[in-house]
Structure 1
Amino acid sequence: MKFPTKYKAILFLTVLLATNLTSCKKVLDEENLSGITDETLYTTPKGFETLVNAAYSYQRWWYGKERGFNMGETGTDLWTNGAGDVYPDLTTYQNLQATNGALQEVWSNFYKAINVCNAGIARVGNSGMDEALQVQRTAEFRFLRAFYYYHIVETWGDIHLTTEETKGVITEANKTSVENIYTLIIDDLKFAIENLAPTTTEYGRVTTPAAEAFLARIYLTRGMNDEAASLAKKVIDNYGFSLLPNYADLWKMDNQQNSEVVYAVNYSANLNDNDKQDDNVYPDGDNRGSNSAHLLFIMKYDDQPGLIRSLEYGRPFNRYQPSRYLLYLFNEQIDSRFDASFQQVWLCNQPNASSRPPGMNVGDTAVFISKYAVPAAERATKNYTIYDDNDIYNTDGSSKNRLRYISMKKFMDNTRSSVNEAQSVRNAFVIRLAEMYLIVAEADFKLGNTIEAATYLNAIRERAANEGHKQEMDILASDVTLDFILEERAREFAGEQLRWFDLKRTGKLKENLQKYNPHANTYFRDYHLLRPIPQNQLDAVTNKSEFTQNPGYQ
């Protein structure tokens, strides 16, 4: 779905309407020279659509954004911080406090989004739309409200719940239980499923199968395994989705709208439509923009002999380094996902011969990073730079080189306009069909049906097999364990903003940090299963004795 440029000029009215819980000040203090108010704007179909678009747009605060990666991927068994990590307190839990900027931004903007959804639900009857479209838009608002509440409740636990539009400043917040929050989430998603269209011509707009897939994730989270498996199977069987034959094809820039994507947050090919900066609506500047994932997972390569920064290799922000554990989860001889996901070789692209190592030509190997030890005798025969497992990791898996490492390439974008362009038009996949297979497998395992669980796992593993190795990728029912399912999810979804939720859902976060991430394990405490409620929220409320900080945080 495209968010047109003209929408930005109107959206500040929506944000005025969506007064933020985290401040006693108005979000904006703008003079409305046009005389248009939200009371009149949203009484026409065209005007009301700006409210719908606004409700969708807040997904971009998480998906494809640095704060969402730090909250959804880091602080787990799969990632440690690279030298450029902006939120090391989320990555390692060291001194994680309520002043963390990522937490404040997500809390603030997701509550704005919820208020936009509440406003849309309340106002749709006066929108001038026909009745059928009113029901469709209400279903979209209710899906999105559930979507935002899920991220908030899983992150913070008992939190403020409201289903009413807020037009002014709130000074009190309630603490609603996780159970009651999920009651609303499930009710909203059931309504969405019953009333959404099964398909859409506007990519990025929610559909019936997307709502069913998201509810399957919710059911799995809540331990409703029969319901989770049933809905996931329905999405697999009934809507024409299919796994791409080649896992690597998922990440091609010219193949973003493919048969495996159930739901995505879309970014416009016109960068101006991605709200990189709008001083009225988003005074924090470059907080929205387009997809940032391409910047975050790649090592510092452009100061190495024979290399300069390029479109192909990306702009290295050097934020996240894969754990040694993640790399060794793959048997790259039989599993194509390692080569499809990670980069180990950088070819010489330095045009100036005098700046290249002797004997190195453009196109020759310039840097090779091995996940295995490379003997000194072999290194001596090469004119390129080699980093190996022993150069990068200690024997306990901790990192000793945060600048050079095997880099994840799934989100790379060589269609950017220049080597320094920070914006990418890559869409952020929220739900892929592969997740439905793995939801069935996990639910079946928990229900004791390991035979069917193995069948669904094998469907994913066979798709990932290198040519001629499908049989080697197959597992038996006796191989199915919760740990194996989590390993398979890591191989399939590394970097896709799911891992923290996976480990929390399965009760494995503490255990896996102890085993595989010594940096995070040093500082992790049980209370870190919830994040600290942002300090500016706590400062703003007047009922401070009722709305309190999560246990363990100061």
Structure 2
Amino acid sequence: MKRSVIYTFLLSITLLGACNKQLEEYNPSGLTVDQVFSTPDGFETLVTAAYSYNRWWYGKEEGYSIAEMGTDLWTSGTGDKYSDLTQYLNLQASNSVMAGLWKQLYAAVNLCNLGIARVDKAGFTDNIRVTRDAELRFLRAFYYWHIVETWGGVHFTTQPTEGVVTTANRTPVDTFYAQIFRDLEVAVTNLPATTGDYGRVTKPAAQAFLARICLTRGLNQRAAVLADSVINNYSFALESNYARLWSMDNLQNKEVVWAVNYMKNLVFDDRTNATLYPTGHSRGAHNGHLMFGMKYDDLPGMQRDIANGRPFNRYMPTLFMLNLYNENADARYEGSFRQVWYCNNLKTAPDGMKLGDTAVFCSKKAVNGTGKKYRIYDRNASYAENEGGKDRTHYVSLKKFDDPTRLGKDEEQSARDAFIIRLAELYLIAAEAQFNLGNSAKAADYINVIRKRAAIPGHEAEMVVSASDITLDFILDERARELVGEQLRWFDLKRTGKLGERISAHNPDAAKYFQSYHTLRPIPQEQIDAVTNKTEFTQNPNYQ
């Protein structure tokens, strides 16, 4: 969805993030909300702005830190900035990621509330009015899901904020979900089946997200029906080659149900947006390519280049994550991870090494490096005996989000789209729902569709599973193999009640600090400080 110029004052209408008694309002344009939103063109800026808040989460370090880290799949790399999220090491209300996302999610909800309240006065034709209302209701449900799952029963309203707000309410989780269901019912009913404006939500996207919500709330039969509808009733299809999903020339592919689209002209992305990103610390556009790569560019035979990326080495995979794959049969291992770095710098290369030769090899296995010219970082080098991180600078690296089309080796922004929902997840939702309903054979059928796509030619039989293989842990393992890095894992483990169990079993770094209360995150301290009804709006338990 192409982003038009957004009125600065419009985006500055925040909810709880504006609980500052010293706030001074200034509107240099002289325009009022009533004037702008009473015309179709003006109202479209509101809808565009409502979508834009997804950029705070999807494809951004902050969203990865909350949704992927602190699970069974990831531990800290040397460059990790938020070990309190990655390892639960003294996670408290002062965490800056919590503060930033709290503000933006509530700003997004408030903007949706404002639009829903005013869409009837925007001058739209009936069909466009109904569609825009449905989009805003979908987005409100989507943002509230992030809020309620992250923080629990916190502030809730469906009314737009007027003026400065200094109080907040504590609303039960069930109330949040009741509204999420109401909004998604409208979205499913009124959204079009397709769109010519890539990035807008559609009826199948609403059905897919509603299926995810039904699974979260234990409505398994309905989750299965909705997932089947998306699988069978539209033109989506699994890419035949898993690795092709991540190619920069194939981003708008037939498997994507909904995505946040970033633009090839980086000027129109969000690094320098004075309202959304006044400090520029978001690094703009999609920056997943920075987060998962190990530091290779100071090793013999290597220098930083575009193809291998700019390595922030924030996150390293747990050994458990890597060992989930049978790399001899499952193409998703090679399609997701980088193990080999090829010589691109003869000045520092060992004698006899040529350009293009292997310079660095990382492995999840113990490797005999005797007689090799290249550097080897194997299981014993990268991981401790208890499988925690050891060498947090050199390790097998996730490459899904690499962008070899960047114009320079130091470029922090990528025009890569961030996939929010793709068809493979619908098969996995259907499988989990069927398993919960006692239909393990049917669950296996859905999973086998995913595994068939993933099979290395000649190894198809090794990838087939049967009803007896299906357990909740197996489904979570399969979700990891398919969806690793796609900002779903923390929610998956929380939904299934497996967060603590899986961390304890598979992530020794986080297991040292994880407590049961970490299934909710701390409310930002600045929010606690800002409200005047402090006895009613209190911090989540056990946080300071």
TM-score range, shorter chain: over 0.9
Q: Which residue of 1 aligns with 2:167?
A: 172
2: CA distance, partners of 1:280 / 1:388: 45
User: Structure 1: which 5+ residue stretches go unaligned?
Assistant: none
Q: How does 1:438-449 map to 2 (within 5 A)?
A: 438-449=428-439
1: CA distance, partners of 2:33 / 2:78: 46
SS of equivalent to 2:213: helix
Which residue, out of 342, 351, 354, partners 1:347?
342
SS of equivalent to 2:120: helix
Q: How does 1:522-533 map to 2 (within 5 A)?
A: 522-533=512-523
Q: Which residue of 1 aligns with 2:67?
A: 72
Identity of aligned residues (%): 56
SS of equivalent to 1:457: helix
Q: Which residue of 2 aligns with 1:265?
A: 260
1: CA distance, partners of 2:16 / 2:273: 18
1:131 Cα deviation from its structure 2 partner? 1.5
SS of equivalent to 1:430: strand
> Does structure 1 conserve the Cα–Cα contact (< 8 Å) formed by 2:283 and 2:412?
no
> Does structure 2 conserve the Cα–Cα contact (< 8 Å) formed by 1:60 and 1:288?
no
2: CA distance, partners of 1:112 / 1:81: 30
Change (3 A) 1:22 1:82: farther
2: CA distance, partners of 1:288 / 1:48: 29
1:532 Cα deviation from its structure 2 partner? 0.5
Which residue, out of 308, 322, 334, partners 1:313?
308
> Does structure 2 conserve the Cα–Cα contact (< 8 Å) formed by 1:277 and 1:287?
no
Q: Which residue of 2 aligns with 1:539?
A: 529
Q: Which residue of 1 aligns with 2:14?
A: 18
Q: Which residue of 1 aligns with 2:56?
A: 61
Amino acid in the other structure paired with 1:59: N
Change (3 A) 1:419 1:29: farther
Change (3 A) 1:468 1:545: same
1: CA distance, partners of 2:377 / 2:519: 35
Which residue, out of 379, 404, 407, partners 2:394?
404
> Does structure 1 conserve the Cα–Cα contact (< 8 Å) formed by 2:331 and 2:454?
yes
Q: Which residue of 1 aligns with 2:102?
A: 107
Q: How does 1:422-501 map to 2 (within 5 A)?
A: 422-501=412-491
2: CA distance, partners of 1:130 / 1:435: 35
SS of equivalent to 2:284: coil
Query: Alpha carbon RMSD of aligned pairs, Å?
Result: 1.2
Moved more, 273-282 or 429-438: 273-282
Amino acid in the other structure paired with 1:144: L
> Does structure 2 conserve the Cα–Cα contact (< 8 Å) formed by 1:62 and 1:69?
yes
Which residue, out of 144, 151, 155, partners 1:160?
155
1:468 Cα deviation from its structure 2 partner? 1.1
1:279 Cα deviation from its structure 2 partner? 2.6
Amino acid in the other structure paired with 1:117: C
User: Structure 2: which 5+ residue stretches go unaligned?
Assistant: none
Deviations 1:439-494 (A, max 9, x none): 01101111100110010010001110000111110011011000100000000001
Q: Which residue of 2 aligns with 1:250?
A: 245
Amino acid in the other structure paired with 2:236: F
SS of equivalent to 2:12: helix
Amino acid in the other structure paired with 2:327: E
Amino acid in the other structure paired with 2:365: Y
> Does structure 2 conserve the Cα–Cα contact (< 8 Å) formed by 1:19 and 1:26?
no
Change (3 A) 1:288 1:216: farther
Amino acid in the other structure paired with 2:530: A
1:280 Cα deviation from its structure 2 partner? 4.3
> Does structure 1 conserve the Cα–Cα contact (< 8 Å) formed by 2:80 and 2:315?
yes
Deviations 1:226-247 (A, max 9, x none): 0100100000000111111110
Q: Which residue of 2 aligns with 1:186?
A: 181
> Does structure 1 conserve the Cα–Cα contact (< 8 Å) formed by 2:61 and 2:287?
yes
Q: TM-score, normalised by structure 2?
A: 0.98
Amino acid in the other structure paired with 2:173: V
> Size of the alignment, in residue pairs?
544
Which residue, out of 170, 195, 199, partners 1:200?
195
1:22 Cα deviation from its structure 2 partner? 5.2
Amino acid in the other structure paired with 1:218: I
SS of equivalent to 2:512: helix
1: CA distance, partners of 2:27 / 2:155: 31
Change (3 A) 1:339 1:280: closer
Which residue, out of 58, 61, 82, partners 2:77?
82
Q: How does 1:361-440 map to 2 (within 5 A)?
A: 361-375=354-368, 379-440=369-430
Q: Which residue of 2 aligns with 1:358?
A: 351
SS of equivalent to 1:318: coil
Amino acid in the other structure paired with 1:24: N
Change (3 A) 1:77 1:374: same
Deviations 1:151-194 (A, max 9, x none): 01000010111100112111111111111100000110000010
Q: Which residue of 1 aligns with 2:3?
A: 3
1:26 Cα deviation from its structure 2 partner? 7.1
Moved more, 282-291 or 192-201: 282-291
2: CA distance, partners of 1:51 / 1:23: 22
Change (3 A) 1:28 1:257: farther
Amino acid in the other structure paired with 1:545: T
1: CA distance, partners of 2:353 / 2:430: 51
Deviations 1:128-163 (A, max 9, x none): 111211110000000000000000100001011110
2: CA distance, partners of 1:49 / 1:20: 24
1:25 Cα deviation from its structure 2 partner? 4.8
1: CA distance, partners of 2:12 / 2:61: 26
> Does structure 2 conserve the Cα–Cα contact (< 8 Å) formed by 1:22 and 1:537?
no
2: CA distance, partners of 1:16 / 1:22: 9
Amino acid in the other structure paired with 1:363: G
1: CA distance, partners of 2:323 / 2:289: 23
Q: Which residue of 1 aligns with 2:331?
A: 336
1:515 Cα deviation from its structure 2 partner? 0.7
1:20 Cα deviation from its structure 2 partner? 4.0
Amino acid in the other structure paired with 2:357: D
1:35 Cα deviation from its structure 2 partner? 2.0
Q: Which residue of 1 aligns with 2:269?
A: 274
Deviations 1:382-417 (A, max 9, x none): 111111100011121111100000000000001111
> Does residue 289 of the first structure (1) align with residue 284 of the second (2)?
yes
1: CA distance, partners of 2:452 / 2:56: 35
2: CA distance, partners of 1:60 / 1:527: 28
Change (3 A) 1:160 1:19: closer
Change (3 A) 1:524 1:234: same
1:13 Cα deviation from its structure 2 partner? 1.6
Deviations 1:34-90 (A, max 9, x none): 322222111111111100000000000000000100100000000001000111100
Change (3 A) 1:277 1:28: farther
2: CA distance, partners of 1:414 / 1:153: 37
Moved more, 163-172 or 299-308: 163-172
> Does structure 1 conserve the Cα–Cα contact (< 8 Å) formed by 2:9 and 2:27?
no
Deviations 1:346-367 (A, max 9, x none): 00001xx342210011101100
> Does residue 548 of the first structure (1) align with residue 538 of the second (2)?
yes
Amino acid in the other structure paired with 1:53: T
Q: TM-score, normalised by structure 1?
A: 0.96
1:284 Cα deviation from its structure 2 partner? 3.2
2: CA distance, partners of 1:116 / 1:31: 17
